[in-house]
């Protein structure tokens, strides 16, 4: 591969996930200085460092008004979209028509099943083209879809909650050890940044601090991702998200009944075989459970478990940073796979 650096553009760099991605790209050794795009038209708006002073230094990073001509002029190779689902749904077809590779951090292209996708209520201008992109988009979880991501043009970056469940759950379901008829219960908790930068009554400091609440019960947008990637039916899954009074991080506790009595070493072996060579998944082993503080501000998804004395009931705990492995870090990991680089590059 050529030593020439890859040029990226980021739309949505002012949001929490978008800014996390901006910081990663700026220090990636194989990337040229990225282009940061603003949806505002006219002269360039304020520089990124005016919103995030930690970037203050000898170089300025302007937010440049978006245009397709600008992307072509700047020689952009890959477009990152940290944008609302509806905007990503609108931009991606044209971006692909212009020869760009895309990593979309929204939920616009993650789902294959129209029933699952219905939660977004998309109204596509070209329904036929959108259906084709729904079919061909690659779900961007490298630990499961590494081979497909390498040649992908459109990568749909997974949701944060979905990643925290799919990573620990899928190997067990595929092994045949999970008694799905007994139901899979996913009890998940996220820091406030998972709700995005735009403030709401629920994420206001006065409401979130010293509080703990469930939300979107039986209606969270990440449910369909878990069903499709883990291979479950809707009546086999209960997924309940909760809001933790912390800035970032996810802890998911998954309750499982098993098809037969097993030993801790069998469960451990399933995980280690599944994620052999996957740097960003850490298996803690029997009896050692992850905590948010171990993975926060990293790209790791940590997995640990406890097996009941009867060997037929299993509790799995996973932790990750919702802005890293749950968003920007995973997007960078996908970029590395797409261009044939080490998945550890740039972290």
Give the HSE-up count for residue 280: Cα atoms under 13 Å, Cβ half-sphere. 32
Nearest to 71 by CA among 46, 97, 45: 97
Instruction: Return the H-helix or E-strand segment holding 268.
Output: helix 264-274
Nearest to 227 by CA among 166, 168, 281: 166
Instruction: Answer for the pair 202, 173: CB distance below 8 angstroms, yes or no.
Output: no
Q: Tokens at residue 337, please?
A: 């796979």
Show Cβ contacts of residue 132 under 8 Å, excluding neighbours closer than 6 positions: none
Cα–Cα distance for residue pair 9/158, rounded to 1 Å: 19
Q: Tokens at residue 126, please?
A: 């070209």
Cα–Cα distance for residue pair 170/326, rounded to 1 Å: 17
Cα–Cα distance for residue pair 110/135, rounded to 1 Å: 10
Cα–Cα distance for residue pair 226/66, rounded to 1 Å: 33
Cα–Cα distance for residue pair 347/337, rounded to 1 Å: 14
List phi, psi (to 5°) of 177.
Answer: -85, -20
Q: Radius of gyration (Cα) for the chain, nearest Å?
A: 20
- The crossing angle, in degrees rounded to 10, of helices 264-274 and 160-175 is 120
* 160 labelled catalytic: yes
Cα–Cα distance for residue pair 200/345, rounded to 1 Å: 36
Instruction: Answer for the pair 288, 304: CB distance below 8 angstroms, yes or no.
Output: yes
Catalytic residue among 160, 186, 188, 301: 160
Residues designated catalytic: 160
């Amino acid at each position: 591969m050529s030593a020439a650096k890859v040029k990226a553009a980021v739309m949505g760099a002012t949001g929490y996930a978008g800014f996390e991605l901006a910081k990663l790209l700026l220090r990636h050794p194989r990337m040229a200085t990225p282009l940061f795009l603003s949806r505002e038209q006219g002269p360039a708006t304020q520089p990124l460092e005016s919103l995030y002073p930690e970037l203050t230094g000898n170089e300025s990073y302007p937010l440049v008004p978006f245009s397709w001509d600008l992307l072509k002029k700047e020689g952009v190779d890959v477009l990152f979209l940290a944008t609302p689902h509806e905007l990503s749904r609108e931009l991606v077809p044209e971006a692909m028509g212009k020869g760009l590779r895309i990593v979309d951090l929204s939920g616009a292209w993650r789902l294959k099943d129209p029933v699952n996708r219905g939660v977004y209520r998309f109204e596509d201008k070209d329904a036929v083209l959108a259906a084709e992109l729904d079919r061909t988009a690659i779900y961007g979880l490298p630990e499961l879809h590494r081979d497909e991501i390498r040649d992908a043009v459109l990568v749909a970056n997974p949701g944060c909650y979905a990643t925290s469940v799919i990573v620990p759950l899928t190997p067990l379901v595929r092994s045949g050890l999970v008694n799905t008829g007994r139901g899979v219960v996913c009890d998940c908790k996220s820091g406030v940044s998972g709700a995005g930068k735009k403030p709401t009554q629920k994420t206001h400091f006065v409401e979130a601090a010293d509080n703990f609440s469930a939300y979107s019960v039986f209606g969270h947008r990440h449910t369909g991702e878990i069903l499709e990637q883990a291979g479950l039916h809707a009546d086999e899954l209960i997924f309940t998200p909760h809001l933790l009074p912390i800035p970032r991080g996810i802890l998911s506790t998954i309750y499982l009944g098993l098809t037969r009595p097993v030993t801790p070493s069998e469960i451990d072996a399933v995980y280690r075989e599944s994620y052999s060579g996957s740097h960003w998944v850490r298996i803690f082993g029997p009896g050692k459970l992850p905590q948010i503080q171990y993975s926060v501000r990293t790209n790791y998804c940590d997995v640990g478990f406890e097996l009941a004395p009867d060997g037929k009931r299993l509790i799995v705990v996973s932790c990750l940073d919702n802005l890293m492995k749950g968003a920007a870090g995973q997007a960078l990991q996908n970029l590395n796979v797409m261009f044939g680089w080490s998945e550890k590059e740039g972290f």
